[in-house]
Chains A and B, each alone.
Chain A
Amino acid sequence: MLIDVPQEYYLILSAMMFVIGSVGVLTRRNAIIIFMSIEIMLNSVNLTFVSFAAFMGDTAGQIFVFFVMAVAAAEAAVGLAIVLALFRNKKTIYVDEVSLMKW
């Protein structure tokens, strides 16, 4: 029988991906890069879901990943439309130069 990788390794990999994504959100100023870092974080959670689903031999986790992907697609459409509207009004997409909602 083929020996598989222990599940802890998948969890460690997904934790590292989540760290990279959160560092990207907190350090970058370009709104599109922040958006891509959020996608990395969503994907790390998806990897956790898939590894738990596989090691439990269950379908439920994979269905949740399916839903997360649908929400990510909706988020991509609306988020990029917001970035375009922001660029049209402010001529910048650097989040530190947009302080409209900051008091």
Chain B
Amino acid sequence: MAKHPSPQDEGKSSGARHLVASLRLSRSEMAQKEAVRVLYPESSSETDLALRIWRRGLQLDLARLLSVGGVIPGGVDEQQVAMLVLHDVLTCLPLLQRTGRLHALIALLAHPPLAAATAEEHEAPGEAPEIDPSAAGSIDEIGGGDFL
């Protein structure tokens, strides 16, 4: 069984890796953890900080799951998760703007990928998407022969 680190062990160097709350972190991950510490001023220990960061990741994953129609355990309110993610998006707007991702996001909202193709072309759940009857013939006309 893996040995749990004592509070004194936390953050100690183990080669190029560091143990924090039983998580084996690389040097760069340690540096990133220190950088985000400022976002969690209420954390009381390294373990508490690790737990808070983990919870944040869990919330994001729940939001991702709900977004694609996944089912989450009872007791989690969809509205609450949406608000948490909205807060994250708002916080990250300057970064998205600086890196040009906001523009891409707006374009995506204006023209959702696949919207034209899937919504219109999937006739009913469970049915095979029909390939347009004209498509096979069009291949012959532009240099496609028969299967060998």
**Do A and B come from the same complex?**
no
| Partner-B contacts on A (CB < 8 A) | none
| Partner-A contacts on B (CB < 8 A) | none
